[in-house]
Structure 1
Amino acid sequence: MAVAEMKWTSTALIVIGMQKDYVSKTSPSRMESGEVILPNVIKTVDVARSRGMPIVWVVREHDHLGRDVELFRRHNYVTPDKPKPVIKGRPGTELVDELEIKDSDYKLVKTRFSAFFNTNLHSYLQAIGVNSLVIIGLQTPNCIRQTVFDAVSFDYQSVKVIADASGAAAPDIHEVNLYDIRKINVGTPTLEEWSKPI
C-alpha cells in the first residue's frame, strides 16, 4: 500500500449532527449554518470516500421525555411549546436527504456534546487502525469543540476541522472557536486546501 493510501485509511472522517432537526428549513431547531455548509459537507464526504477513509456519522438521539439530555436543557423536553429535537425514532433524527450512511460507514449515537463521551468511538477507531481525525458538521462551539478536545486528550496524531464544512449559530462564534482550537494544534483547513492531492 502506498504511503498516501495508508495515511487516508488511518484517518477517519467524523461527520457530526447533520440531522433533519438541525438542518431542515421547517425545523424549529434548525441552524441556518447547517444549510450553508451542506454542499461542502457533501463534497468532504465524497473526497473521503474517494480516498478510502473510514467515515463515522455521529448523531444525537434522545428519549422522548429528555431523561438522557444534558441537565441544563432537560426542562425543554417536559415544557409544552418548546422544540424537542432529535427524539429517538422520529424523522428529525435522520440525516438530511442529501447525505447517506453506506454499509461501509459507521453510525454512532451520542447524548452529549462530545462524540467520545460515554460512547465506544475511541475503541472503534483503535480497532480499525485510525490515528488521525478530520471533523465536520454542527456545531463548532459545542459538539465539534468537545469532540476535538477529547481527541487531543486521547493523543490522536492529527486532528483537523474543515473550516467551511462546519458551522455554528453565527459566523463570529464559528470563527472564534476555530481560532481557539488552533491554539491546541488542531488544523482548520478549508475544503479546497484539504482536498488537494498529496
Structure 2
Amino acid sequence: MAEAWKQTALLVIDMQKDLILPYSPAAVKGGEAIVPNVIKAVELARNRDLPIIWVVREHDSLGRDVELFRRHFYAADKTKLVVKGSSGAELVEGLEIKSHDYKLIKTRFSAFHNTNLHSYLQGAGISKIVVCGNLNLNININSFLRQTVFDAVSLDYDEVTVIVDATAAATSEIHCANVVDMKNIGVATPTLEEWCHANN
C-alpha cells in the first residue's frame, strides 16, 4: 500500500437489492445509476490494498430489530425488506464480499450505532475513511450515509471522504444540499475520478 493510503479504509453502505433495485418501495431514485461507480471505487480500493468494510442492513423477519417508527412495515401482510438470508438482502450484481473484506451488519441508520465499527477501525489502525453507497430510503441523504459520516466526524477521524458520484439521493437538489452540509463540517467530497488520481 502506498504511504498516502495507509490508515485508510473504504466503507460501502447499503448496496443491497432491496435498497437499490427499482422493484422495491425502498429503492433510492437513481440508485442503480451509481452501481458502476461503486464497483470502480471498490476495485480501486482493492488495487490500493485498502480494507473494505461492507455495511449492510439485515433485519429479523418479524421486524423485532427495526426502528419503532418502521415496524409496521414488517407486519404479516407486508413485503418485508432486507430480511436476513433473503435475496433482497444480498448485494447488487457486480459487488462481492471477498474473504479478506469485513461485513458489518447494522439495524439503524448509522454504521456506528450499536455496532463494533469504531473498535474495528481503531484496532486496524484506521484514521481515515472513504464512504460510498446508498444514501437513504427515498427521502434524503441523511438517513444512511450522512448519519454515518456525521458520526465519523464526531468520533474525530482524521479524514472523512465521500465519493459524491458513487452516492445517490432522491433528487439532485437533495444530494447537492447535503454535500454542502458535509463540506461545512470538513468532509472531503471528490468525484470518483478525483479520488482515483488523489495521492498517485
What residue number does 1:129 align with?
125
| Residues 1:11 and 2:12 aligned together | no
State the alpha-carbon separation in 1 of the partners of residues 40 and 99 from structure 2: 19
Equivalent-residue separation in structure 2 for 1:29 and 1:129 (angstroms): 35
Equivalent residues, number: 194
Structure 1 vs Structure 2: percent identity of aligned residues? Answer: 58
Does the 8 Å CA contact 1:47/1:195 hold for their aligned counterparts? yes
RMSD of aligned alpha carbons: 1.4
- Structure with bigger helix share is 1
Matches of residues 171-182 of structure 1 in structure 2 within 5 Å? 171-182=172-183
- Show the counterpart of 1:155: 156
Moved over 6 A (4+): none
SS, match of residue 142 in structure 1: coil
Please tell me whether the aligned partners of residues 29 and 168 of structure 2 are also in contact (alpha carbons under 8 angstroms).
Answer: no
Question: Normalising by structure 1, what TM-score?
Answer: 0.93
CA distance in 1, matches of 2:94, 2:55: 16
AA matched with 1:5: A
Shift of 1:178: 0.8
Structure 2 stretches lacking a partner, 5+ long: 136-140
- What is the correspondence of 1:35-184 to structure 2 with a 5 Å cutoff? 35-78=32-75, 80=77, 82-139=78-135, 140-184=141-185
User: Residue 64 of structure 1: CA displacement?
Assistant: 1.1
Q: Deviations over 1:136-184 (max 9, x none)?
A: 0111321111101110111100001000001112221111111111110
| 2:194 match: secondary structure | helix
Q: Gaps spanning 5+ residues in structure 1: where?
A: none
Q: Give how far 1:6 is off.
A: 3.2
Separation of aligned partners in 2, 1:125 and 1:136: 17
TM-score in terms of structure 2 length: 0.92
Matched AA of 1:61: E
